[in-house]
Amino acid sequence: MARIVQKYGGTSVGDVDRIKNVAGRIKAMRDAGHELVVVVSARAGVTNELIARAKQVCPLPSDRELDQLLAIGEQETIALTAMALHGIGVEAVSYTGAQAGIFTDKAHTKAKIKTINPKPLLEDLKSGKVIIVAGFQGIDDEGQITTLGRGGSDLTAIALAAAIQADKCEIYTDVDGVYTADPRVVKEAQKLSEISYDEMLELASLGSKVMQTRSVEFAAKYNVVFEVRSSFNTNPGTIVKQEVAYMEKVVVRGVAVDKDQAKVVVSNVLDKPGTAARVFRVLAEANINVDMIVQNVGRGGVANLTFTVPLSEKDKAVKALGPALQEVGGEAAFDEKIAKLSVVGVGMKTHSGVAATLFEALAKTGANLELISTSEIKISVVIAKDKADAAARAVHAAFQLEKLG
């Protein structure tokens, strides 16, 4: 008997038939004698729909009210999943985030989990019930409903697995695992049987939308080994775990493309100490995740600052930058027609020539490099959005990723 945390994403519980399919899978595991805590997302599309509706009544809705609204998506699916289990004779009980003892800070719409009190949940689990927990939500110490950022059900599952010392954590989604590239774009893409936390983290944050970034960080911190696999078949998935020596033999493990970024060019700001600090302080205060910062050499007392922000935060960035630019001069321009392409692999720590191979492959597709940034295990470039798919295919081929997996 094992204690297992499973998470089913939005497409896996996308309609009543799919919820019944999930219930059937849960029953099979329960019948095999396992203890099960199951985290579910909202039905696919529901969170987006709710956000769109919020914007119809108010262009910049309050984050507290957004959380009140968004939490209902998961509340629907937990109840329906529990009922579907009852319908096939399995004892089950649904828990909201608050009921599951998931306590967070007060950062509405991107709250961090502070503690989990799993006691009530564990009591129900010991009595033989399957526990269905609403992903993506928690409660702060004043009783306010919070949400954990888009894709936050993954975090709920990983954090619960750590809190209840689960033997296994399985993340069920609509793909078979983590691939060397997006298989819808690169038909030669291969499923990886395992991958390190760091690689997964880079891939997740780089727009291979398999999992929420923060959930992978959390798993790495608490050493939660998890498997990403499909809820539509029984194929083995991808195991995500601590890096081991042999993983370095592969130089590049994946190519990721993120089309949900906007480039911001702040030009003609005063070239003096404190300018960048001012610009990025206002963005930080607006809780905007800035990436790929480049500053050019100042000429004539002014400089340009270029960086990327998530597309969804562009409007917030426009608003936040306004007053700061009054102080430091300059004007901001935004470009949404960009994509960030990255290659990732722990083997880059010990191999050279990765940048040259990448840039040559990109040059052949005619993609112009607008920004470049590197880390120990990743190289990212910003290119035109309409060149991104062809570029991903060329880069995948250049690193011979079809031979992995």
Q: In the complex, what is the shortest distance from the CB of residue 33 to ligand ASP, in angstroms, rounded to a whole number?
A: 29
Q: How many residues does the chain have?
A: 405
The answer to whether 150 contacts ligand ASP (rule: CB under 6 A) is: yes
Return the number of the residue (44 or 270) whose C-beta is nearest ligand ASP: 44
The answer to whether 380 contacts ligand ASP (rule: CB under 6 A) is: no
In angstroms, rounded to a whole number, what is the distance separating the alpha carbons of residues 8 and 84? 14
- Choices 40-48, 56-64, 340-348, 392-400; region in contact with ligand ASP by CB under 6 A: 40-48
- Cβ-in-10-Å burial (0-12, 13-18, 19+) of 328 comes to buried
Q: In the complex, what is the shortest distance from the CB of residue 110 to ligand ASP, in angstroms, rounded to a whole number?
A: 11
- Choices 6-14, 51-59, 202-210, 362-370; region in contact with Mg ion by CB under 5 A: 6-14
User: What residues numbered 136-155 form the site for Mg ion, per CB under 5 A?
Assistant: 151
The answer to whether 218 contacts ligand ASP (rule: CB under 6 A) is: no
In angstroms, rounded to a whole number, what is the distance separating the alpha carbons of residues 391 and 398? 10
In angstroms, rounded to a whole number, what is the distance separating the alpha carbons of residues 103 and 141? 7
Return the number of the residue (311 or 318) whose C-beta is nearest ligand ASP: 311
Q: In the complex, what is the shortest distance from the CB of residue 52 to ligand ASP, in angstroms, rounded to a whole number?
A: 12
User: For residues 152 and 41, is the Cβ–Cβ distance under 8 A?
Assistant: no
The answer to whether 41 contacts ligand ASP (rule: CB under 6 A) is: yes
Return the number of the residue (23 or 42) whose C-beta is nearest ligand ASP: 42
Q: In the complex, what is the shortest distance from the CB of residue 263 to ligand ASP, in angstroms, rounded to a whole number?
A: 24
What residue 150 binds from Mg ion, ligand ASP, none (CB within 5 to 8 A, per partner kind)?
ligand ASP
Q: Which residues pair with 4 in a beta bridge?
A: 36, 168
What residue 182 binds from ligand ASP, Mg ion, none (CB within 5 to 8 A, per partner kind)?
none
Q: In the complex, what is the shortest distance from the CB of residue 42 to ligand ASP, in angstroms, rounded to a whole number?
A: 4
Cα-based angle 45, 48, 51 (whole degrees, multiple of 5): 150
The answer to whether 208 contacts ligand ASP (rule: CB under 6 A) is: no
User: Binding mask 78-97 vs ligand ASP (x if CB under 6 A, - otherwise)?
Assistant: --------------------
End-to-end CA distance of the chain: 30
With CB under 6 A as the contact rule, the residue among 135, 138, 237, 254 that binds ligand ASP is: 135
Helices (H), 63-128: 63-87, 119-126
User: What residues numbered 3-32 form the site for ligand ASP, per CB under 6 A?
Assistant: 9-10
Return the number of the residue (151 or 330) whose C-beta is nearest Mg ion: 151
User: For residues 216 and 228, is the Cβ–Cβ distance under 8 A?
Assistant: no
The answer to whether 41 contacts Mg ion (rule: CB under 5 A) is: yes
Q: Which residues lie below 8 Å from residue 379, measured CB to CB, with a gap of 6+? A: 342, 343, 348, 354, 355, 358, 372, 373
Consecutive H or E run containing 18: helix 16-31
Strands 113-116 and 194-196: unpaired
Secondary structure E strands in 231-282: 238-241, 254-258, 261-270
Q: What are the residues binding ligand ASP (CB under 6 A)?
A: 9-10, 41-42, 47, 73, 135-136, 150-154
Q: What are the residues binding Mg ion (CB under 5 A)?
A: 9, 41, 151
